[in-house]
Structures are given as C-alpha cells and as structure tokens.
C-alpha cells in the first residue's frame, strides 16, 4: 500500500520524507492556497522533496479550459498527476487527458457509480473521500470497499486512493479493504507511530540499561 501525504506544506513533506513514508503527495486548491505560492512554484518545490506521484488539481470547470489547464499542470514535472473533479466536464476532461497519456486523479468521488464513470474514462486514480462521507452520517469506508469490489469484477486498472483520512483507523481499514493508496494529513501519519505499550516498553528497557551501564552506545 502506498502512503501519500495530503498536504502542500513543505516542512511536513520534508519530515515525512525523512521517515521514508511518503510515496506521493495529493494537493487540492484549498491546500495550495493555504501555502500562498502560485501552484506551479509550489508543485515544483514539492517535486524536489518527493519522488512519486504528485496530484495537482485544476480549478477550471469547463471542459476545454480544464484540458488546457491540465496540460499546463502536467508540464510542471513528469511526476505530476492532474486532478479533475467528478463532474460531467471533469470526466470528459479525464478521458481527453488520458487519451494523450496524461495521468488523471478523479477527485471528489462520493459514490461507487461515480467511481465507475472515472474508471470508464480511463482515470489513473480515483479518490473516494472517506471522512467527508462519515461527516454526513454515512459509512465512508463502504465506499472504498464497494469501489474495490466493482473494479475487481471488471479488471479496471484505475487505482483506488482512499482520501479524506481523518484517523489511523481510516488508514488501517483502507489497507484491509485493499486500497492501493491512502492519502493522509501529516497529523494522521504521525499518529500511526503511536502506541502506549511502545512508550512503556522503551521506558523500561532504558531504565534497566541505566541500572547497569552509565552511557548509551552512542556516547562511548
């Protein structure tokens, strides 16, 4: 399973990359706007940190403008995956860009039927938003499970990227469901490390060591 960070923040990306846990990055217009730089510049900086798929989203809403904008984003770097929203124009743009060999991540997917449209349009990735479905009182993970089952039934190559991850549990459930990728905020990646028994066990090991030896090996 690939781990992507759902952020455009360079410090978060550098830290995650140091841990060796960042296989790719997803951004969206809100995340890019938060960092304050033009998208071309921000995406280029992200590509310098992470060598993997970097999703950059179009903000046009009409087919020809979307295609033109998508081509521009794809030119920023070979690792850029163009993100198009799951609208009629977005799906048409997905098909047009895919036919030209540009990889598209279809975003804002909230139903298995929408995911079928993305796959049929030739999307490289589809992004079901788990947390936002939970937010309206439905079970977001059911969406991921259904899409994976449907894609398996027909052999669609589109990768399922579980997005809008709000907790380590979301990541684990996505892994159990067989999602190809989970994209998560830095906070969720950080939380995946945590276990009270790890902290307790380490504390005890260090106490036992210190009773007998004065220094750590690094201090020798």
Biggest CA pair distance of the chain: 72
The yes or no reply on residue 6 touching ligand G3P (CB under 6 A) is: yes
Contact mark string toward ligand G3P, 192..211, x via CB under 6 A: --------------------
Name 58's Cβ contacts closer than 8 Å, sequence gap at least 6: 66, 69, 70, 73, 82, 83, 84, 85, 93
Alpha-carbon distances, residue 87 vs 104, 106, 193 (angstroms):
14, 9, 37
On whether the CB atoms of residues 5 and 12 are closer than 8 A, the answer is yes
Whether 34 sits among the annotated catalytic residues: the reply is no
Among 37, 44, 71, 132, binds ligand G3P (CB under 6 A): 132
CB of 201 vs ligand G3P, minimal distance in Å? 33
State the minimum distance, in angstroms, from the CB of residue 106 to ligand G3P: 12
Tell me the three state secondary structure of residue 171.
helix
With CB under 6 A as the contact rule, the residue among 3, 129, 151, 156 that binds ligand G3P is 129
Phi, psi of 56 (to 5 degrees): -130, 130
Binders of ligand G3P among 15-74, rule CB under 6 A? 26, 28
Residue 80 near residue 106 (C-beta atoms within 8 A): no
The dihedrals phi and psi of 131, each to the nearest 5 degrees, come to: -60, -40
Which strand (E) or helix (H) includes residue 133? Answer: helix 130-135
Annotated catalytic residue, options 83, 152, 200, 207: 83
Q: Between 114 and 183, whose beta carbon lies closer to ligand G3P? A: 183
The site string for ligand G3P over 148-187 (x = CB under 6 A, - otherwise) reads ---------------xx------------------x----
* # binding residues, ligand G3P (CB under 6 A): 9
Q: Cite the active site residues.
A: 83
Point out which residues bind ligand G3P (CB under 6 A): 6, 26, 28, 129, 131-132, 163-164, 183
């Amino acid at each position: 399973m690939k781990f992507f960070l759902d952020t455009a923040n360079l410090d978060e990306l550098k830290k995650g990359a140091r841990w060796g846990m960042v296989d790719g990055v997803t951004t969206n217009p809100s995340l890019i706007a938060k960092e304050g730089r033009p998208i071309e510049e921000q995406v280029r900086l992200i590509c310098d940190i992470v060598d993997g798929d970097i999703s950059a989203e179009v903000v046009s809403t009409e087919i020809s403008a979307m295609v033109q904008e998508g081509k521009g984003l794809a030119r920023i770097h070979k690792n850029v995956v163009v993100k198009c929203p799951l609208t009629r124009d977005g799906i048409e743009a997905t098909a047009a860009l895919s036919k030209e060999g540009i990889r598209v991540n279809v975003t804002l997917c909230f139903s298995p039927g929408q995911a079928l449209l993305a796959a049929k349009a030739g999307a490289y990735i589809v992004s079901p938003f788990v947390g936002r479905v939970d937010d309206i009182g439905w079970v977001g993970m059911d969406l991921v499970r259904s899409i994976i089952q449907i894609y398996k039934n027909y052999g669609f190559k589109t990768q399922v990227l579980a997005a809008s991850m709000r907790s380590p549990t979301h990541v684990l459930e996505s892994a159990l469901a067989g999602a190809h990728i989970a994209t998560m905020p830095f906070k969720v990646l950080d939380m995946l490390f945590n276990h009270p028994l790890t902290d307790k066990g380490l504390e005890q090991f260090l106490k036992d060591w210190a009773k007998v030896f004065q220094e750590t090996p690094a201090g020798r």
